[in-house]
Amino acid sequence: MEWYINRGSKVCFLCERTFAEEEIYLSVLYDENNTFTRKDFCLGCWDKKGEGNIFSFWKTKVPKKPETVQRYAKIDVFYDLFNKLENETELSRINFRYVLSLYLMRKKVLKLRTTHKSNGNEYLVLHNVKEGKDTEVIKPHLSKEEVLAVTDEIGRLVNCAPQFSVGIT
Ligand SMILES: [Zn+2]
């Protein structure tokens, strides 16, 4: 599983200007009524975006048009989301965090130490290589198709296209 930065033209949410080649813009993930929505802002509009429940934000550089090599999505963005979802209890967010953990394991940011069961849930105990600490992830009962659907959803929010070259985990 990989996520690649989506190409195609993006516009600033406020001034509706299409971002230029190699322009740096900011994407914000808002958490509103338990729903994530993403909005993109040009640097000029960043200070005018107003209030909102910001869950996470990150910078993206628009690729050069004739670029042939696809850019990998930034692991830092996924890692940040994974961390911020740690204490979420809502099912869709548990699913979200689990799928992010699969990706971060593939990227060797997280290493599986062990698994255990308690209160009817299965947990993955993951070692966070970057921070030298362990973190637990609830393993939800997801079919392959459901994992793919969650992966698509994450890709949509982070503006990346998932690709599954070597299986899903
Ligand atoms: Zn703008």
What are the pLDDT digits (tens) for 94-150? 999 999 999 999 999 999 999 999 989 999 999 998 789 999 999 999 999 999 999
pLDDT for the residue numbered 7: 64
Q: How remote is the CA of residue 130 from the centroid of ligand 1, in Å?
A: 35
Q: 23 alpha carbon to ligand 1 midpoint, in Å?
A: 12
Q: How many A from CA of 75 to the centre of ligand 1?
A: 26
What string of DSSP letters covers 7-20?
-S--B-TTT-PBPP
pLDDT of amino acid 83: 93
CA-based nearest residue to 98, from 138, 156, 151, 144? 138
**Spacing, Cα 155 to ligand 1 middle (Å):** 23
What pLDDT, in 10s, does the model give residues 48-107?
998 889 999 999 888 777 665 566 678 889 999 999 999 999 999 999 999 999 999 999
- The pLDDT assigned to 166 comes to 46
What's the pTM value of the predicted model, to 2 decimals?
0.85
Report which residue type is found at 4: Y
Residue 28's H or E segment, with its range, is strand 24-32
d(CA 146, CA 121): 18
Distance 12 CA to ligand 1 centre (A): 5
Query: Rounded to the nearest whole angstrom, what is the distance from the C-alpha of residue 40 to the centroid of ligand 1?
Result: 9
Residue 164 has pLDDT above 50, yes or no: yes
* 158 vs 100, higher pLDDT: 100
How remote is the CA of residue 35 from the centroid of ligand 1, in Å? 24
